[in-house]
């Protein structure tokens, strides 16, 4: 005679019911965690840069902010390369962007220089941090459009937040090169910070370099690679000189991007979408 199966009541009494074991945890592939881990490391680097600035270790502070910007710039690309994109990762990346491209550079700049401008310096930092947040929000909204404009693969609207974080620290680079952080320099730095904040939220067309139609002549490939190697070598050897020169050259190229846009579309700025009179531009990226 076969043994009778235990009843549900007997299973529950013996702690054998499925409910008593709780829900099974779903396993997550490791490749989905790697991009998010890079994002977390970027946040840690940005926050550490703020701490180092308050400890007057300015060169390390700037270095950590630049490392944070670098990590934050590659996490999305690594996620797409590993086919590990997710909505959670996108939200994490957006939060990290505000810290690394808005809060961290603003506070490092304030502690190093703008504190000498008192309240005006702090207001300039607030304006930059808020402008970076607005710039990132506009980028996210435009990036989520189902039907993107053809020019979106070739131009940014305003300077991108990562570039803004690197550019706004120019007064710090100059300070490392020997410029005295005097009150006059602090007020000039505050005005410069507000200018960069304006460029972040402006509708200035900025060439992105991501166009799929961009091509390089075959005979220029190797010289270009050597040029990149030379730039990195100079950056490692003469960091603040090269960064200062890079920022100045980047700012000087902005009018050329606007000029190329005007030749193609007839305006110096990216115009609003049609039909924005009802306020729907808030959902279209302003």
Instruction: Evaluate if residue 280 carries a pLDDT over 60.
Output: no
Ranges of H-type helices in 238-280? 239-265
> Are the CB atoms for 268 and 261 separated by under 8 Å?
yes
Lowest-pLDDT range of 85-89, 129-133, 174-178: 85-89
For the stretch 74-95, pLDDT in tens is 877 787 787 777 777 778 888 8
Q: What sign has the CA pseudo-torsion 221, 246, 269, 198?
A: positive
What mean pLDDT is predicted for residues 39-49?
91
End-to-end CA distance of the chain: 78
In 10 A of CB 80, how many CB atoms?
11
CA distances from 256 to 79, 138, 243, 262 (A): 33, 23, 21, 10
| Arithmetic mean of pLDDT over the chain | 81
Higher pLDDT, 230 or 91: 230
The pTM of the full predicted model, rounded to 2 decimals, is 0.80
pLDDT tens digits for range 104-116: 999 999 999 999 9
Decide if 3 contacts 46 (C-beta within 8 A): no
Query: Count of alpha carbons within 13 Å of 23, Cβ hemisphere only?
Result: 3
């Amino acid at each position: 005679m076969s043994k009778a199966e235990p009843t549900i009541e007997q299973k529950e009494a013996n702690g054998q019911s499925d409910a008593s074991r709780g829900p099974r945890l779903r396993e997550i592939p490791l490749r989905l965690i790697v991009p998010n881990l890079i994002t977390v490391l970027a946040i840690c680097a940005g926050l550490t840069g703020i701490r180092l600035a308050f400890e007057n270790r300015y060169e390390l502070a700037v270095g950590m902010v630049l490392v944070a910007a670098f990590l934050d710039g590659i996490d999305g690309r690594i996620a797409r390369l590993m086919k590990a994109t997710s909505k959670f990762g996108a939200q994490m990346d957006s939060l990290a962007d505000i810290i690394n491209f808005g809060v961290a550079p603003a506070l490092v700049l304030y502690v190093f220089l703008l504190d000498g401008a008192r309240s005006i310096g702090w207001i300039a930092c607030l304006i930059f941090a808020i402008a970076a947040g607005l710039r990132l929000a506009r980028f996210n909204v435009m990036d989520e459009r189902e039907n993107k404009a053809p020019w979106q693969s070739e131009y940014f609207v305003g300077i991108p937040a990562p570039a803004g974080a690197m550019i706004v620290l120019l007064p710090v680079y100059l300070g490392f090169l020997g410029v005295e952080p005097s009150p006059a320099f602090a007020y000039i730095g505050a005005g410069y910070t507000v200018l960069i904040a304006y460029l972040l939220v402006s509708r200035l067309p900025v060439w992105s370099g991501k166009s799929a139609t961009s091509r390089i002549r075959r005979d220029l490939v190797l010289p270009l690679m050597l040029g990149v190697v030379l730039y990195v070598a100079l950056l490692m050897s003469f960091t603040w000189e090269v960064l200062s020169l890079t920022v100045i050259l980047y700012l000087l190229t902005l009018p050329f991007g606007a000029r190329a846009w005007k030749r193609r579309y007839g305006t110096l700025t990216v115009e609003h979408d049609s039909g924005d009179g009802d306020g729907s531009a808030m959902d279209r990226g302003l």
